[in-house]
Homo-oligomer: A and B are copies of this chain.
Amino acid sequence: MSTAQPATPATSTLPAQMRALAQAARAAARKMATATRAQKDAALAYAGEALLARRAGIEQANAEDLSRAKERGLSGPMLDRLKLDLPVLQRLAEGLKQVAELNDPIGQELSRETRPNGLVLRRVRVPIGTILIIFESRPNVTVEAGSLCLKSGNACILRGGSEARASNAVLAEALREGLERAGLPADAVLAPPTADRAAITELLQLDDLIDLAIPRGGESLIRAVAEQSRIPVIKHYKGVCHVYVHADADPDLAVKIAVNSKLQRVSVCNAAETLLVHQDLAKTLLPEIARALLSGGCELRAEPKAKAALEAAGIAQAKDAGPDAFHSEYLDKILSLKLVGSLEEAVDHIETYGSRHTETIVTRDAAAGQRFQQLVDSASVFVNASTRLADGFEYGLGAEIGISTDKLHARGPMGLDELTTYKWLGDGTGQLRG
């Protein structure tokens, strides 16, 4: 089955090409909005089959990307993230099955009320429409993000990084084949047929056709999208997550939560980047936590008081926290360290340096925990739990399209529900305005 996107006339300009692409997506979105769950789940199943059936073509396209990336001198970890082989395709196909098993959010009644005039007023969950996803690096995102948009009845335009262009195109074709076999519009998954970076700028102007832009990648990509876009953007700038150890913290819990938050997996946005410890613990718990982190291979960057306290306890390995330390998202085995005089000082530090992603307090005092949760302005605020738990799967969302550090529409982990909006439906018998 040929599910390649129709070629655009070579004569058309980039703005005209991008408008035509967005129009095709919008037309597909209208059909997707009335697709049944059975159709959408069938499309996901067929797409999984297509991924495996098209393995040879996918591996060939991926080999092209890999060889170009090597020529351009991409690093080993970058090449790893780019690579599509049978185990990766099998995992992607398995992921499609899992998405099919999730409940269909569309049609859910969020509220229902009979107004005094007799009008039956309901708010009903509907797809957002057309979603533009701009991402870097891993071609897996084509399948993962595409499948979530499909399940939630949206059309999507998937714009991946240039280094994975051939891979992204063939993966999108597998999704398109799935849609077509299920009787749904293939154009519910589209990719701009050009490597020109100006295509993104053009797409971001089309607020009459595209309803939402989700950039996924480094901070500079996300800032550029937010600056250029007329379309609403849901952003995730970075995760500078904090662990605050209150004066009354249970020592064992504090060590475990600090170590797990920092070291369980360092390359992810919900890993802790800064440890704040109450100054009353400078001689007792602070050295204990520091030893546990150091023995886990973690570098510590401490402000002067914390560094002095560690040295007094015989710990000489801590480095100085430089001027950017507390703004840093290390994504590595490095942790910034600071002593604070009170819970309020911890909160103020988080307000100044944090990214409003996830913070946790370790305390035995329920009132202190509540106060921390009330004062900290972040998407997720925990008491006595690891920051690493701020995650769509841990929250039971069943899927995760990203973690929003914005406050509008979606905050924190975003699942299928966050890819929907609502309509107000009113059923009347001739109700008028008086």
| Residues of A in contact with B (beta carbons under 8 Å apart) | 30, 33-34, 113, 115, 117, 119, 121, 126, 128-129, 207, 211-212, 226-227, 230, 232-234, 250, 253, 256-257, 260, 264-265, 351, 369, 373-375, 377-386, 388-391, 394-396, 406-409, 411-413, 421-433
Contacts and interface: CB of A to CB of B under 8 A. Distances in A.
B396 A430 contact: no
Contact of A424 (B395, B407, B421, B424): B395
A257 B426 CA distance: 14
B369 A432 contact: no
Nearest to A26: B351
A408 B128 CA distance: 8
A360 to B, nearest CB: 8
A126 B427 CA distance: 32
B232 A385 contact: no
Contact of A386 (B250, B264, B412, B433): B433
A394 B433 contact: yes
A121 B395 CA distance: 8
A392 B107 CA distance: 23
Nearest to A429: B384
B230 A232 contact: no
23 contacts: A30-B375, A34-B375, A115-B394, A119-B385, A232-B407, A232-B408, A264-B432, A264-B433, A369-B427, A380-B423, A380-B425, A381-B423, A381-B426, A382-B425, A382-B426, A385-B432, A386-B432, A389-B428, A389-B432, A391-B433, A395-B424, A407-B421, A409-B409
